[in-house]
Structure 1
Amino acid sequence: MATLPPFRAQRLTSEGALGIAIAAGVIAALLILWLIGDPVVAIGFASAGIVLGGVAVAWRSLAPVAPPLAPEIDWQLVRALAEESPDAIAITDRAGRLVCANDGFGEMFAGLPTPPGLPIGEAGVGALAEAGRAAWRDGRAKVDRAEVAGRPISIEVLRTGHQHDLLVWRAVSAMESDNSRALAEALSGALGKRLAESGIMAALLTTDGRVLAADPVLRVRAMGRSEAPIEGADFARFLVTDTRGLIRFQREGGEGNPLRLVQVPFADFDGSPILVALLDEEEAPVSYGNGAAAHIRTLVQLMPVGIALVDRDGRFLEMNDAFVRAACVDRAAPPLYPGDLVVREDKAAVADAVRRFAGGGAAHNADMAVRLRDVPDEPVVLSIAGARGLGDAAVVLSLKDNGEETRLKREVAQATKMQAVGQLAGGVAHDFNNILTAIIGHCDLMLMRHSPGDSDYDDIQQVRNNSNRAAALTRQLLAFSRQQTLRPQILQLPDVVSEVSNLLKRLLGETVTLEVRHGRNLGPVRADPGQLEQVVVNLAVNARDAMTAKHPHGGGKLTIQTRSATLGEIRRRGPDIMPVGEYTALEISDTGSGIPPDVLPKIFEPFFTTKEVGKGTGLGLSTVYGIVKQSGGYIFADSKPEQGATFTIYLPVHASGEPVAPRKPAAKPKPAEVWGTGTVLLVEDEDMVRAVAERALTRQGYTVLTAENGEVALELIDQHPRPDLLVSDVVMPAMDGPTMARKIRQRYPDLPILFMSGYAEEQLRRSIDIEQVAFIPKPFSVQQLAEAARDALAQGR
């Protein structure tokens, strides 16, 4: 039985209620008339029933009907279905918010912009906005022609949803929208065979001359086999032109049949595929006139590099698409002369070079560095050559878009510089750690002879405190040079942020708002939680200073967000910079004054600071950079002037089955007693460190044998009984600590070993293949050395 609509059911119910009320009134009137015989009272009862029925009808008519509840949308299912489509798909709601998009949308538009605000030019955005309004009104609309990153696309907009409150935006490249795919399949199939039987060789090419499809005969003539893979190849390399302008297949050489090349119009917008036909023709003398020029210009268009032809008067005759893109030329208003492409300072040099090559009074070719008018900050290479046998063309210009190459060179130079400075910083920190070890050790020894209240106690304590501050500075140097000691754990980034949030609120003050957002289902990472907390604190303090500079009277907002990195944003960073994989991102953004473009490339350099003298060491961001890199991650800074800065850290997801570490692991209890007995062989090449360590161990009850290098230590081993513990520096001249330890272990396999070094423990352990060794980093105090010796002896036993 069909279900009636709500209003129909309501009307039937109202009529039924009226009938019941009238019937009840008539029955009551007859009953009263029979009992008391008064017609006036009976009529009153009948009227009352009719009135009550009318009231019931009115109430039922005016009562609202509850609308049916809209079903909840399963967005995960919608996204999964969208991912199955080869098109770029996005969904927006009635408020214009982006609620869903597939990876194809992120790849096509280099991110997740919200339609209609797509990177398709001002005119394209206007047309797309009008299409969106039309779709809300009519249910469907389309923009036939738009362009993103030089690629033509079409965009269709469809209204959908249970309550018609959603818009689906589907972007399709010109390859699909103009049936190019179907043509490509036809050329490789029945249509290609028909053309070949008629003596026509055809190919479908991209705008940069790459083959999309070709018929079997063209494959045989160009590559020797009908099944040869020709897709993606450079079409121009299959052809050669002789001195008379005749075109032949390169594979057939000078004995091959000359060809006639015809470009068939296929679409009427820039960037559309090119349909090219080749016909065999009898060899005949060809003049250098319009016929040869047409062939040459067609070949120029097919070249994948930027080529332009210039006549004897210095005017442009032809420029291909690659040249247009490299020179940033506006096709609507192309330049007349090559000098119009460059800045004013380079105009005279370019014009003079073109004049010399056109007159034949120059070398075969030459390269010159020029700056383009539209991109003056990046010099490019302009190649100039004289032309002969190319019709009206006298000069050939070649322009290579080396922006990507320049960027890579700059990044390699920056990485090399950072590595060199890092090695220098690591060496300085190592030597400085030796000095600080001696200073801190002597301070500890003097404090043992003084009690609080003595005249010298406060001075010694102050020297020790300053030494500890200097030790913190060396740790920053080691962090920058990626040589610090890390204790990585499997952890979740939200836990690290939660641990440091209370500290951040005190550091930021009351005028700066802290907002923390965490994503769902984040992958675990492997890193040192203490070092990650230092990263967050350093970035937050820098953000606070930036916001204070912009808002002297207070204000600003710091946002910390953890999320899963999308595949699209990783690809935008570039596979040569960050390999494609699974990453968990930590994003810290502020509302400060931003970072100027000329400062942005330098912010991670050590000792570079924009703060006033005495207010910054310039090691904050370099420390952050070193910690992130040593943890296997990547960090990027994005900023626009007066719009704040955003630092994004990507840490690779750890995929092993190890459990995630708790927020605050329980500290290992240590007994307070550090007194010991036995013989300790101490090997240290620095006299000041050896003296402090010897006095410290002697005071704890040990008998200490000292040696200044590995050779002397081996001699002492031969002269004395077996020691109970070997304490040695790692890096020493002549014979280093690990080499000496291996020789001693051959004699005493179970001898406990305690290494001490100013370098990182993690780095040293990778280079030391000795089992059962302990490690203590420099600088250390007398108490720390005593505890490390006690623990090493206990482990050995």
Structure 2
Amino acid sequence: MTAQSLPSADGDFIRGAGSAGPLSAPAGLSLVDKAVLGGLALLSAALLFWATRDAVLAVGFLAGLAVAVGGVLLARRLFPAAVTGEALVPDWTMLRQAVNHDDIAIAVTDRGGRMVCANDLFGTWFNGFVTPPGLPLEGRGAETLKNAGRVAWRDGEGYADDIAIGPLQLRAQVTRTGQSDDYLVWRFSALERLDLAAEIVRHLDGPAGRTLGHAGVMAALVSAEGRLRVANQAFLLRALGEDDAVHYAGRDVAPMIRLDDAGALYFAREGDRATPVRLIQIPLAPADNNTPMLLAMLDEEMGPTDRGTAQTYVETLLSLLPFGLAMVDRDGRFLYVNRAFVRAANLPEGKMPRYPGDIVVGEDKGALADMIRRHSSGQQVGGDLSIRLAGQSGDPVSMRIVGVRGLGEAAVLLSLKDSSEESRLKQQVAQASKMQAVGQLAGGVAHDFNNILTAVLGACDLMLMRHTPGDSDYDDIQQIRSNANRAASLTRQLLAFSRQQTLRPQILQLPDVISEVSHLLKRLIGETVQLAVHHGRGLGAVRADPGQLEQVIINLAVNARDAMPGGGTLTMETYPVSAADVRQMGNEFMPPADYCALKVSDTGTGIPADVLPKIFEPFFTTKDVGKGTGLGLSTVYGIIKQSAGYIFAESKPGQGTSFFIYLPVHRADGDAPVVVPPPAKPKKSQWGTGTILLVEDEDMVRAVAERALTRAGYTVVTASQGEEGLERFAQMERVDLIISDVVMPTMDGPAMVRAMRAKRPDLPVLFMSGYAEEQLRQSIDIDNVAFLPKPFSVAQLAEATSAALDDAAHRVPK
């Protein structure tokens, strides 16, 4: 990339880096000045001798004066005075920094707002060297860019996102630089892949097309339907003539070309005296027949020297295309590759491989060599080959191989699509879809498991009421109940991963949560692991469930402890992350916003690269059998996601692991009220009276609940689903409370309750479900209902029933 010379304010041209000459030294003394100074020195020595009559003193004075003058001259020679004012040359250090980039449009302006220099890509993108920020941008782009320039003058750096010129989406970075901070460097990078066809239209219709024409290369872009979209002047004059070369867009290309019996290709317009031409076809999208085609034609009768020149210009054309293209000779050696091919094949800079087989894995070398050999005969046909590139993830990519003629040594044209970004996005989408599917499966498993556990816990409670400590069966029943409670905790973790648990968010500070749980962490991690806590300044408040955040911190601390069996250091850091920091991170998943970050790091064994993408999946664990359920990190993942946050992990084997949690800073309208936790409600009685309609589709749950409520003193009428519940309700003279499951076949609980409340609006309702209330909130959507999550014990069912009846009795009618 070369620096573009631009005129300065006074009409002179400011040259590129290195053009400024050395600083001029100060002017020396003239001979006359030296003679006058010498005479004055001798006169001073003579006067001193006349006054003192001491020759030694006079000679010493003269010698000292000579030494002083010599020292001054030596100092001026060694340390010349800096040139100031108008003699100061521009500082070109910032220009050297700018010209080192060839994939970013760059311009430099001075403090007076004048253009100093710009690269060629800047002129291409903006149709000339227009001085920033007054660029021809879409919408409010110029104003946004101007504000970024003001920020750069003030803070040293500014950004402008989402600016566009035509179809090109750009992001601008403006940096103040120079020894005196008197310059702005404007860098523009493309956010989206360019429209290949539009780029080729612009190049062929501009200087690149004329350059190819002067070299004898006739180039045209043809649509998938065979219609002419754009062509350089050399093609138009040969194919259409000077009269029709103006209005050519949309014309069919087939009538412009003819093929004789020998297979030679001609321009149809030139008749019998036509010169045969060679045709090179370059599809804009490999392995796709429905995309435009770039055609390059060369005269057949060109000599070897002309062919070499034509090949050079074809290489120039290939270098302009933004997808990977390479030319190979008949012996299978690379002749030329463009930059897009280097990027697509992930080739090291400056180390060009000799053969195409060097860029693929060993298993694909033979197939690629055979296909190149078959196409090197010059037949103008193409084929696609699925290959795997060496040193990459192993995902196959498509390579297009086409035989060519008329380009000297070049016999085969290879095109390779840069699919690294596409593959990465596919993997991310597949992983996100997989996590969502696993989350839905986990939620369904938790629901069914909760129904089973409800029956088990209820049966245990009823049996314990008939046994006393010391009985032969009492300890066995207690063991069953304890294991059922452990299973219930697993279902809660599954619901956390599937983001279906009920959260009680509060406005809080992360350091306060860590402080509350730190005393417990020290006991959990043991004496061999040191705990270090560091808090940053300017942390914003977050909105989350403090109990669930404590669970996140504990789970991460326990994992870190297990990764450091010989001891180590567990570090927890909190720090603010601004929207600008998020943009610099370049993370596609996190939208730019202000976050409060928590980093949990250990000095343990680390996580292998093949294991790292799976750590948040439920039941995935690398621990020995019986030492972990694989739900710790999946619970963390679910809690953070349900709190509108983001979690990422970084690790290298042997160098420890770091987890990064980002929670959005809470922005309240006005002054946020102080969240005061509600006072604990007094424990309700487990005994009562009244008539209850119990609707539950699970037989075992319905049987246990009926026995428990009957034992507590209530009269219970049961139904197995919603429609049967409506029939029972119509037959009952008095109903004090409806206890119903939410999800049931035929008619669910909310639909049944709406029908009942149409007749009796004040009817008390207690819903119970194996799903979490958070997930069912939209489907319930009924006022004045209570909720009891499964699994529950007999005592919890009795207390919830008593509370629902009390709330209904104290509710003030509207």
TM-score range (shorter-chain normalised) is 0.5 to 0.7
User: Could you list the per-position Cα deviations for residues 599-653 of structure 1 after superposition, in whole angstroms to 9, with x for gaps in the alignment?
Assistant: 1111112111111111111111111112222222221110112111011112222
Q: Is this contact kept in 2: 1:485–1:760, CA < 8 A?
A: yes
**Are 1:494 and 2:506 an aligned pair?**
no
**Are 1:483 and 2:528 an aligned pair?**
no
Q: Is this contact kept in 1: 2:503–2:774, CA < 8 A?
A: yes
Distance 1:585 1:518 in 2: 10
How much has 1:474 moved relative to structure 2? 1.1
Aligned to 1:276: none
Aligned to 1:556: 569
**Are 1:258 and 2:234 an aligned pair?**
yes
Q: 1:602 to 1:739 in 2, by over 3 A?
A: same
Question: Could you say what secondary structure the match of 2:662 adopts?
Answer: strand
User: Could you list the per-position Cα deviations for residues 695-719 of structure 1 after superposition, in whole angstroms to 9, with x for gaps in the alignment?
Assistant: 2222222211111111111111111
Q: 1:435 to 1:148 in 2, by over 3 A?
A: farther
Aligned to 2:128: 187
**Are 1:245 and 2:217 an aligned pair?**
yes
Q: Is this contact kept in 2: 1:433–1:778, CA < 8 A?
A: yes
**Are 1:774 and 2:786 an aligned pair?**
yes
Distance 2:99 2:621 in 1: 42
**Are 1:436 and 2:377 an aligned pair?**
no
How much has 1:146 moved relative to structure 2? 9.2
Q: Is this contact kept in 2: 1:365–1:383, CA < 8 A?
A: yes
Aligned to 2:367: 349
Instruction: Identify the match of residue 726 of structure 1 among 724, 733, 738.
Output: 738
What amino acid is aligned across from residue 725 of structure 1 in structure 2? L
Q: 1:668 to 1:396 in 2, by over 3 A?
A: same
Gaps of 5+ in 2: 1-90, 109-114, 132-166, 171-193, 237-269, 276-297, 301-306, 810-814
Distance 1:256 1:675 in 2: 93
Summarize the alignment of residues 135-534 of structure 1 with structure 2, pairs less than 5 Å apart.
Answer: 144=96, 187=128, 234-238=198-202, 239=204, 245-247=217-219, 257-258=233-234, 287-288=299-300, 289-360=307-378, 364-375=381-392, 377-388=394-405, 390=407, 392-534=409-551
Q: 1:346 to 1:789 in 2, by over 3 A?
A: same
Aligned to 1:578: 590
What amino acid is aligned across from residue 511 of structure 1 in structure 2? T
Q: Is this contact kept in 2: 1:559–1:590, CA < 8 A?
A: no
Distance 1:416 1:724 in 2: 46
User: Could you list the per-position Cα deviations for residues 467-522 of structure 1 after superposition, in whole angstroms to 9, with x for gaps in the alignment?
Assistant: 11111011112112222222222222222212111110110112211111222232
Distance 2:629 2:764 in 1: 41
Aligned to 2:33: none
Q: 1:459 to 1:374 in 2, by over 3 A?
A: closer
User: Could you list the per-position Cα deviations for residues 22-55 of structure 1 after superposition, in whole angstroms to 9, with x for gaps in the alignment?
Assistant: xxxxxxxxxxxxxxxxxxxxxxxxxxxxxxxxxx
Distance 1:140 1:248 in 2: 42
How much has 1:254 moved relative to structure 2? 8.2
Q: Is this contact kept in 2: 1:491–1:661, CA < 8 A?
A: no
Gaps of 5+ in 1: 1-138, 157-173, 191-208, 213-229, 261-282
Question: Could you say what secondary structure the match of 2:568 adopts?
Answer: coil
Distance 2:195 2:432 in 1: 37
Q: 1:663 to 1:656 in 2, by over 3 A?
A: closer
Alignment length, in residue pairs?
A: 581
Q: Is this contact kept in 2: 1:524–1:653, CA < 8 A?
A: yes
Q: Is this contact kept in 2: 1:518–1:563, CA < 8 A?
A: no
How much has 1:689 moved relative to structure 2? 1.0
**Are 1:673 and 2:673 an aligned pair?**
no
How much has 1:758 moved relative to structure 2? 0.5
After superposition, the CA RMSD in angstroms is 3.8
How much has 1:529 moved relative to structure 2? 1.5
**Bigger shift: residues 471-480 or 648-657:** 648-657
Q: Is this contact kept in 2: 1:343–1:372, CA < 8 A?
A: yes
**Bigger shift: residues 668-677 or 419-428:** 668-677
Aligned to 2:648: 636
Distance 2:492 2:406 in 1: 69
Q: 1:658 to 1:722 in 2, by over 3 A?
A: farther
Q: Is this contact kept in 2: 1:211–1:235, CA < 8 A?
A: no
Question: Could you say what secondary structure the match of 1:556 adopts?
Answer: strand
User: Could you list the per-position Cα deviations for residues 711-756 of structure 1 after superposition, in whole angstroms to 9, with x for gaps in the alignment?
Assistant: 1111111111241111000111111111111111111111111110
Question: Could you say what secondary structure the match of 2:299 adopts?
Answer: coil
Q: 1:522 to 1:767 in 2, by over 3 A?
A: farther
Q: 1:492 to 1:782 in 2, by over 3 A?
A: same
Distance 2:377 2:774 in 1: 68
**Are 1:713 and 2:722 an aligned pair?**
no
Distance 1:176 1:639 in 2: 44
Distance 1:464 1:679 in 2: 29
Q: Is this contact kept in 2: 1:210–1:233, CA < 8 A?
A: no
What amino acid is aligned across from residue 550 of structure 2 in structure 1? E
Q: 1:615 to 1:330 in 2, by over 3 A?
A: closer
Question: Could you say what secondary structure the match of 1:547 adopts?
Answer: coil
How much has 1:388 moved relative to structure 2? 4.4
Question: Could you say what secondary structure the match of 1:350 adopts?
Answer: helix
Distance 2:510 2:494 in 1: 25
Instruction: Identify the match of residue 785 of structure 1 among 772, 797, 801.
Output: 797
Aligned to 2:287: none
Aligned to 2:709: 697
Aligned to 1:609: 621
Aligned to 1:683: 695
Distance 1:146 1:378 in 2: 36
Question: Could you say what secondary structure the match of 1:717 adopts?
Answer: helix
Distance 2:218 2:799 in 1: 88
Length-normalised TM-score, structure 2? 0.65
Distance 2:610 2:656 in 1: 15
Distance 1:695 1:387 in 2: 86
Question: Could you say what secondary structure the match of 2:475 adopts?
Answer: helix
Distance 2:547 2:714 in 1: 34
User: Could you list the per-position Cα deviations for residues 521-571 of structure 1 after superposition, in whole angstroms to 9, with x for gaps in the alignment?
Assistant: 3232222221111111111100001011xxx2x333333434335533455
What amino acid is aligned across from residue 633 of structure 2 in structure 1? L
Question: Could you say what secondary structure the match of 2:563 adopts?
Answer: helix
Aligned to 2:612: 600
What amino acid is aligned across from residue 347 of structure 2 in structure 1? V
How much has 1:767 moved relative to structure 2? 2.0
Q: 1:142 to 1:733 in 2, by over 3 A?
A: closer
What amino acid is aligned across from residue 587 of structure 2 in structure 1? G
Q: Is this contact kept in 2: 1:681–1:725, CA < 8 A?
A: yes
Q: 1:211 to 1:398 in 2, by over 3 A?
A: farther
Distance 1:726 1:176 in 2: 80
Q: 1:149 to 1:495 in 2, by over 3 A?
A: farther
Q: Is this contact kept in 1: 2:105–2:121, CA < 8 A?
A: no
**Bigger shift: residues 448-457 or 691-700:** 448-457
Summarize the alignment of residues 751-766 of structure 1 with structure 2, pairs less than 5 Å apart.
Answer: 751-766=763-778
